[in-house]
Amino acid sequence: MKLRYLLIAVAALVLQAPASEGKRWWSHIEFLADDALEGRNVGSAAFEKAATYVEGQFKDIGLRPGGVSGYRQPVKFESRVLVPEQSKLALLRSGVEEPLTLREDALLSARGELDGSVEAPMVFVGYGLSIPEAKWDELAGLDLHGKIAVYVNTTAPVEVSDNVKSHVTSAGERWAVLKKAGAIGVATFPNPRPPAGTTPDAASAGAASGRGGAQSPQPTVVLADRELQEQSGQTVSITATRRGAEKLLAGSGHTIDELEQLIVDRKPLPRFPLVGTLRVQEAVKRETVNSENVIGIYEGSDQQLKNEYVVMSAHLDHVGIGRAVNGDSIYNGAMDDASGVASAIEIARLLKESGAKPKRSILFMAQTAEEKGLLGSRYFTSRPTVPFDKLVADINLDMFLPLYPLKVIEVQGLTESSLGESVRAAAKELGVDVQTDREPEQNRFIRSDQYSFIRRGIPSLAFKFGYEFGSPEEKTRRDWVRDVYHKPNDDLKQPVDIEAAAKFNRVILGLLQRVANDTARPRWNDTSFFKRFAKPDLH
Ligand SMILES: [Zn+2]
Which 3-state string (H, E, C) describes 488-510? CCCCCCCCCCHHHHHHHHHHHHH
- Of the candidates 76, 130, 110, 81, the residue with the CA atom closest to the CA atom of residue 378: 76
- Of the candidates 85, 89, 53, the residue with the CA atom closest to the CA atom of residue 72: 53
Ligand 1 centre and the CA of 343: distance in Å? 14
- What pLDDT score was predicted for residue 418? 98
Distance in angstroms (rounded) separating the CA atoms of residues 456 and 42: 24
Ligand 1 centre and the CA of 337: distance in Å? 5
- Of the candidates 236, 230, 241, the residue with the CA atom closest to the CA atom of residue 110: 236
Ligand 1 centre and the CA of 333: distance in Å? 8
Residue 500 has phi, psi (to 5 degrees) of -65, -35
Ligand 1 centre and the CA of 336: distance in Å? 5
Ligand 1 centre and the CA of 477: distance in Å? 15
Ligand 1 centre and the CA of 435: distance in Å? 21
Ligand 1 centre and the CA of 148: distance in Å? 32
The helix or strand, by DSSP H or E, that contains position 313, with its residue range, turns out to be strand 309-315
Helix, strand or coil, per DSSP, at residue 289: strand
Ligand 1 centre and the CA of 446: distance in Å? 12
Ligand 1 centre and the CA of 339: distance in Å? 10
- What pLDDT score was predicted for residue 260? 95
Ligand 1 centre and the CA of 53: distance in Å? 19
Distance in angstroms (rounded) separating the CA atoms of residues 407 and 321: 35
**CA dist 520 → 24, 36, 64, 393, 538 (Å):** 34, 45, 25, 12, 11
Distance in angstroms (rounded) separating the CA atoms of residues 22 and 18: 7
Task: Classify the C-alpha dihedral 145-147-148-153 as positive or negative.
Answer: negative
CB 309 within 8 Å of CB 363 = yes
Ligand 1 centre and the CA of 371: distance in Å? 7
The answer to whether the bond into 337 is cis (omega within 30° of 0) is yes
Distance in angstroms (rounded) separating the CA atoms of residues 98 and 499: 61
Ligand 1 centre and the CA of 443: distance in Å? 14
Ligand 1 centre and the CA of 461: distance in Å? 14
Task: Classify the C-alpha dihedral 169-171-177-183 as positive or negative.
Answer: positive
Distance in angstroms (rounded) separating the CA atoms of residues 340 and 346: 10
Ligand 1 centre and the CA of 102: distance in Å? 30
Ligand 1 centre and the CA of 13: distance in Å? 32
- Of the candidates 243, 111, 126, the residue with the CA atom closest to the CA atom of residue 185: 111
Ligand 1 centre and the CA of 448: distance in Å? 7
Ligand 1 centre and the CA of 295: distance in Å? 18
- What pLDDT score was predicted for residue 442? 78
Can you give the three-state secondary structure of 403-431, one letter per residue?
CCCCCEEEEECCCCECHHHHHHHHHHHCC
Ligand 1 centre and the CA of 61: distance in Å? 25
CB 314 within 8 Å of CB 398 = yes
Ligand 1 centre and the CA of 485: distance in Å? 9
Ligand 1 centre and the CA of 84: distance in Å? 30
**CA dist 148 → 122, 128, 234 (Å):** 5, 12, 9
End-to-end distance of the chain based on CA atoms, in angstroms?
48
pTM: 0.88
Ligand 1 centre and the CA of 126: distance in Å? 31
DSSP state of 514: H
Q: In what order do the strands lie in the sheet with 148-152?
A: 96-100, 88-93, 272-282, 116-124, 148-152, 185-189, 236-240, 106-108
- Of the candidates 422, 445, 417, the residue with the CA atom closest to the CA atom of residue 532: 417
30: number of Cβ within 10 Å: 13
pLDDT in tens, the chain (539 residues): 555 555 555 555 555 677 899 999 999 999 999 999 999 999 999 999 999 999 999 999 999 999 999 999 999 999 999 999 999 999 999 999 999 999 999 999 998 899 899 999 999 999 999 988 889 999 998 989 999 999 998 888 998 888 788 888 888 889 999 999 999 999 999 988 765 544 443 333 333 333 333 334 678 999 999 999 989 999 999 999 999 999 999 999 999 999 999 999 999 999 999 999 999 999 999 999 999 999 999 999 999 999 999 999 999 999 999 999 999 999 999 999 999 999 999 999 999 999 999 999 999 999 999 999 999 999 999 999 999 999 999 999 999 999 999 999 999 999 999 999 999 999 999 999 999 988 887 778 888 999 999 999 999 999 999 999 999 999 999 999 999 999 999 999 999 999 999 999 999 999 999 999 999 999 999 999 899 898 765 44
- What pLDDT score was predicted for residue 526? 94
Ligand 1 centre and the CA of 342: distance in Å? 13
Distance in angstroms (rounded) separating the CA atoms of residues 156 and 387: 38
Residue 515 has phi, psi (to 5 degrees) of -65, -35
Ligand 1 centre and the CA of 526: distance in Å? 29
